[in-house]
């Protein structure tokens, strides 16, 4: 979603990015100023591409475990210009599977400002009515999506639990991440199964066994040269982006989780070993490579891995002699 051609004035774009960033920080519950030129410039060239990368990669995580099978419609709640819907429409597998997309956004300006995206959606239906009632869709084949919209809400909208699937992305902050882990408990209580990032339906160890951890994923950014030059004017750098997410369905997962684990932490080098937080159960566990064995590994955060059979369990460590295999 990055423009192939550099904007005409990177210094001016950087000023717009900082201005919109400050707006988000100072007005966390405020309506995004979509009609302002600075907002349009910053969002189109900076915020939208980075959010698109987050959503597109979460879609790939879900595809790994077959999460999207059977969905015919997506509902993009608090869609803004439709970043999440674009990611679905651009996915080679899903664009032939989906039959329609519904975008719900209270600001008509957001959708009007980015009308050039409309032709890319899959038979879109736009509405400013913040309601899930009377939508023309089969709820048993509909995925309800919240992409960075729940952070602005106190609770899920009425009728959320009538849909087969939920896809939720939140900022990868301590506050929003742990809030999402609390929401995970509610989803399970309502009869939903978590398909990703979790590989189990038990208590989340990051929530129950720690007061500081939160679950989030990290994705690498492949940006054009002009974007890298833009960041020379900015205090923030985006070689990677992070997000917290949940994929849930009323249908039970059929993905085989035998000897599988999700890497929920970055690689940490400690005295005599390298450890990496991994999720596969309600226990808080670490993969561990002992330096004396000279088999240290650095695996990407968020990846699904198949564990070797020769694990040596020591306390909360899963000590490995051979390398886990990233599951594709």
From the list 239, 236, 220, the residue with the least C-alpha distance to 301 is 220
**245 and 299 housed in the same domain:** no
Q: Per-residue DSSP letters for 42-72?
A: HIIIIIHHHHHHHHHHHHHHHHHTTTTTT--
**174 and 224 housed in the same domain:** yes
268 within domain boundaries: yes
Q: Per-residue DSSP letters for 247-289?
A: EEESSPP-S--TTEEEE-S--EEETTEEEEEEESSSS-EEEEE
**141 and 273 housed in the same domain:** no
315 within domain boundaries: yes
**194 and 291 housed in the same domain:** no
**84 and 15 housed in the same domain:** yes
Rounded to whole angstroms, how far apart are CA atoms 238 and 242? 10
Give yes or no for a contact between 215 and 197, defined as CB atoms under 8 angstroms apart: yes
From the list 13, 45, 15, the residue with the least C-alpha distance to 223 is 45
> Which backbone phi and psi does 126 adopt, to 5 degrees?
-105, 140
Question: Residue 115 has what DSSP assignment?
Answer: G
Domain-ending residue, one of 223, 249, 275: 249
**232 and 284 housed in the same domain:** no
Give yes or no for a contact between 219 and 57, defined as CB atoms under 8 angstroms apart: yes
Statement: the pTM of the whole predicted model exceeds 0.85:
yes
**204 and 57 housed in the same domain:** yes
pLDDT in tens, the chain (328 residues): 888 888 989 999 999 999 999 998 898 777 889 989 999 999 999 999 999 999 999 999 999 999 999 999 999 999 999 999 999 999 999 999 999 999 999 988 888 888 889 999 999 999 999 999 989 999 999 999 999 998 878 889 999 999 999 999 999 999 999 999 999 999 999 999 999 999 999 999 999 999 889 999 999 999 999 999 999 999 999 999 999 999 999 999 999 999 999 999 999 999 999 999 999 999 999 999 999 888 878 899 999 999 988 889 999 999 988 777 777 5
**117 and 177 housed in the same domain:** yes
**245 and 264 housed in the same domain:** no
Question: What pLDDT score was predicted for residue 324?
Answer: 78
What does DSSP say about strands 304-306 and 260-263: parallel, antiparallel, or unpaired?
Answer: antiparallel
Position of tokens 């904007």? 7
4 within domain boundaries: no
Tell whether omega for the bond before 77 is within 30 degrees of 0, i.e. cis. Answer: no
From the list 100, 40, 107, the residue with the least C-alpha distance to 73 is 100
Domain-ending residue, one of 227, 249, 271: 249
Q: In 164-260, which ranges are continuous DSSP H helix?
A: 174-189, 205-208, 225-230
**221 and 298 housed in the same domain:** no
Tokens representing residue 116 in the block: 């050039």
What does DSSP say about strands 100-104 and 124-127: parallel, antiparallel, or unpaired?
Answer: parallel
Q: What is the domain count for the chain?
A: 2
What separation, in Å, do the N-terminal and C-terminal C-alpha atoms of the chain show? 24
**264 and 245 housed in the same domain:** no
Tokens representing residue 55 in the block: 């959503």
Domain-ending residue, one of 220, 249, 278: 249
Provide the residue range defining the domain that includes 34.
Answer: 10-249
Question: What pLDDT score was predicted for residue 328?
Answer: 59
Q: Domain holding 120: CATH number?
A: 3.40.50.150
**147 and 20 housed in the same domain:** yes
1 within domain boundaries: no
């Amino acid at each position: 979603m990055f423009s192939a051609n550099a904007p005409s004035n990177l210094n001016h774009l950087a000023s717009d990015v900082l201005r919109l960033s400050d707006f988000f920080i100072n007005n966390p519950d405020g309506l995004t100023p979509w009609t302002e030129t600075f907002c349009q410039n910053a969002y189109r060239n900076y915020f939208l591409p980075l959010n698109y990368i987050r959503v597109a990669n979460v879609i790939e995580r879900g595809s790994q475990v077959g999460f999207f099978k059977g969905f015919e419609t997506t509902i993009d709640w608090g869609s803004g210009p439709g970043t999440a819907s674009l990611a679905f429409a651009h996915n080679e597998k899903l664009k032939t599977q989906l039959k329609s997309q519904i975008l719900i956004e209270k600001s008509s300006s957001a959708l009007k400002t980015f009308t050039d995206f409309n032709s890319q959606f899959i038979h879109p239906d736009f509405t400013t009515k913040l309601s899930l009632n009377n939508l023309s869709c089969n709820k048993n084949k509909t995925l309800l999506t919240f992409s960075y919209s729940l952070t602005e809400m106190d609770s899920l909208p009425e009728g959320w639990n009538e849909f087969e699937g939920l896809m939720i992305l939140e900022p990868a902050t301590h506050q929003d991440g742990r809030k999402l882990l609390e929401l995970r408990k509610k989803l399970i209580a309502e009869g939903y199964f978590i398909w990703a990032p979790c590989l189990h339906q038990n208590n989340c160890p990051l929530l129950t066994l720690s007061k500081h951890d939160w679950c989030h994923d990290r994705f690498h950014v492949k940006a054009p040269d002009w974007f890298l030059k833009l960041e020379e004017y900015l205090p923030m750098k985006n070689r990677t982006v992070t997000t917290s997410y949940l994929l849930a369905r009323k249908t039970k997962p059929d993905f085989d989780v035998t000897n599988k684990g999700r890497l929920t932490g970055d690689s940490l080098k400690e005295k005599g070993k390298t450890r990496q937080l991994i999720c596969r159960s309600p226990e808080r566990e670490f993969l561990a490579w002992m330096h004396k064995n000279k088999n240290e590994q650095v695996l990407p955060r968020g990846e699904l891995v198949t564990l070797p059979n020769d694990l040596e369990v020591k306390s909360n460590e899963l000590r490995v002699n051979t390398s886990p295999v990233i599951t594709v």
